[in-house]
A and B are shown apart, each in its own frame.
Chain A
Amino acid sequence: TQLLEQSPQFLSIQEGENLTVYCNSSSVFSSLQWYRQEPGEGPVLLVTVVTGGEVKKLKRLTFQFGDARKDSSLHITAAQPGDTGLYLCAGSSGTYKYIFGTGTRLKVLA
Chain B
Amino acid sequence: GAGVSQTPSNKVTEKGKYVELRCDPISGHTALYWYRQSLGQGPEFLIYFQGTGAADDSGLPNDRFFAVRPEGSVSTLKIQRTERGDSAVYLCASSSGTYYTGELFFGEGSRLTVL
Binary interface profile of B, 85-114, with partner A (CB < 8 Å = 1, else 0)?
000000101010100110111111100000
Interface residues of B in 27-50 (CB under 8 A from A): 31, 33, 35, 40-45, 48, 50
Minimum distance in angstroms from B55 CB to a CB of chain A: 7
Q: Would you call B45 and A42 a contact (CB within 8 A)? A: no
| CB of A102 closer than 8 Å to a CB of B | yes
CB neighbors of B among A73-107 (8 A): 86, 88, 90, 92, 94-103, 105
Total chain B interface residues with beta-carbon distance under 8 A = 27
Interface residues in A, total, Cβ within 8 A: 29
A42 and B42 contacting across the interface, CB-CB below 8 Å: no
B50 near A100: Cβ-Cβ < 8 Å = no
Q: Does B68 contact A (CB under 8 A)?
A: no
- Let me know if A30 is at the binding interface, CB within 8 A: yes
**In contact, A92 and B100 (Cβ under 8 angstroms):** yes
Q: Is the CB of B100 within 8 A of A42?
A: no
